[in-house]
Every structure is written in structure tokens, then in C-alpha cells.
Amino acid sequence: MNTDLSTPNLPTWCPGCGGYSFLTAVKKAIIKNNLAPKDVVITYDIGCSANMVNFINLCGFATLHGRSIPVAVGVKTANPKLTVIAQGGDGGIVSEGGNHLVHASQRNDDITVLVNNNYVFALTTGQASSATPKGLKTRTTLQGNPFEPLSAIDLAVVSGGSFLARTPVSDLNKTTEIIAKAIEHKGFSLVEIIQPCVIWTKELLKPSGQWVKEPFTKRESFLGRHDLWGILYNK
């Protein structure tokens, strides 16, 4: 089995971008779960983290903005034996593809969604997304974002997803462990990777949060709790 998963292409992310650690975590999780590269498909959104399609030696599918989830569902439907992962940023998964997130979660589709939340549309130079924290000044909210943020986990909690987790990209070991467990899960799993951008959301670079010891048994317990890390729900 390939225990490297590298490609000849080198990442072009900014120095210090969380993408490097995320890429390592995904590779390590796939190797940890002993998955053969030919049995794994990752569908990618459009954005900085989505550039990973060029840097990981697996079956990859670069989709349209906001559409990595429906393409992942299509791949899984066509061949249920495959392990299928959908990647996307906060812009792709929470803003443009929010409807797909809700419905895949509602159906408990057997895919894993990895959301790289850097709180903005980073690739297109830092515009506010639906996940931008209230008050944050961005290229499109010069006076501070007037809206409360939408959370991928909250949308999945209320619509039915059966494995929900959040992890800071800076903790490589935990991020790897959580992604590996999400991939193993049968049914809809979602991991929100907190990955502030060193260019556009510098002020958020040290995210604070509290690790949960055990997953909650009731969905209402963590609805709206953006400050919790770890596996929040695992049914």
C-alpha cells in the first residue's frame, strides 16, 4: 500500500497557512485507517484548501464552488464500496453549498464532509462569508460584519448528521485522529477544521476552545456552541 500519498506538485499556499497541516492530517488519517488510495475518492470545492486536489495522490474530483457534497453523494451512490470524502471551505460548504450540506445531513448520506473554516472567502481575497464572526472587518465588511455567523455544525445538528466534530488545524494529532474516526463512521460525518487564514483573518489566529471528553447524547446540548472542540456527537 502507498504510505506516502504525495504527488510531484508542491503546495502553493502562503507560508504558515493551515492547509499544510490539514493536508498532512488527511494523508495520515487515510494511512491510519489502512485505506488503499484506489478505494478513496475526495471531491473538492473551489478555494485555497481545495487546491489540495493537486497535492494528494488519490482519486480526486475538482467540482464547482459549493458543489463538492452533491458530487460526493453521486460517487457514493454509484459505488457504495468507496470511501468518499467531500472537502470545502466555509464559503463553499456553509455559504454557496449550504443547501447541499443540509440535505446530505438530513439523509444521513454515508460520506465525510471536511470543512476548512478560515471564516472568509480566502482565495478571492478575504470577502466575508456566512461563517464570518460578527464584528470582523473584512474586504466586504469594512465597518465590521453586522451578522451572526452560521456554523456548519449547527446546520448539520438540526438536519440530522450522525457524526459531528470540530478541531483546530494547529493540533495535527487530534485533527488526524478525528478525521480518521469520521471516515470510519457509517452515515453522514462532518468535521469542521478551524483554520484561520494568516493573510485575511490574522486576528483570529489563536482560536480558543474547550475540548469535550465524551460526545454529547443530545443534539440541543451543543447547538450554538462554537467554542467546543472534539467529537461532539457520534450516533
Ligand X SMILES: Cc1ncc(C[n+]2csc(CCOP(=O)(O)OP(=O)(O)O)c2C)c(N)n1
Q: Closest approach of Cβ 231 to Mg ion, in Å? A: 23
DSSP notation for 110-127: S-EEEEEE-SEETTTT-E
Q: Which is nearer to ligand X, 137 or 219 (by Cβ)?
A: 137
Q: Give the position of cell 446540548.
A: 221
Helices (H), the chain: 19-32, 68-78, 90, 98-107, 152-159, 172-184
Segment lying near ligand X (by CB under 6 A), choices 1-9, 113-121, 157-165, 204-212: 113-121
| Residue 70 binds ligand X, judged by CB under 6 A | no
**By the 8 A CB rule, do 96 and 65 touch?**
yes
Judge residue 206's burial from the number of C-beta atoms within 10 Å of its C-beta, 0-12 exposed, 13-18 middle, 19 or more buried: exposed
Q: Which of 21, 43, 49, 83 binds ligand X (CB under 6 A)?
A: 49
Q: Closest approach of Cβ 51 to ligand SF4, in Å? A: 8
Question: Binds 92, which of ligand X, Mg ion, ligand SF4, none (CB < 5 to 8 A, cut-off by type)?
Answer: ligand X
Q: Give the position of cell 463553499.
A: 92
**By the 8 A CB rule, do 110 and 186 touch?**
yes
CA–CA distance, 190 with 156 (Å, rounded to integer)? 8
Q: Closest approach of Cβ 53 to ligand X, in Å? A: 12
CA–CA distance, 178 with 31 (Å, rounded to integer)? 14
Q: Which is nearer to ligand SF4, 188 or 200 (by Cβ)?
A: 200
Site for Mg ion in 80-119 (CB under 5 A): 89-91, 118
Q: Which is nearer to ligand SF4, 198 or 204 (by Cβ)?
A: 198
Q: Which of 18, 70, 92, 207 binds ligand X (CB under 6 A)?
A: 92
Q: Which of 121, 163, 216, 229 binds ligand X (CB under 6 A)?
A: 121
Positions in the binding site for ligand X (CB under 6 A): 45-49, 65, 88-92, 116, 118, 120-124, 129
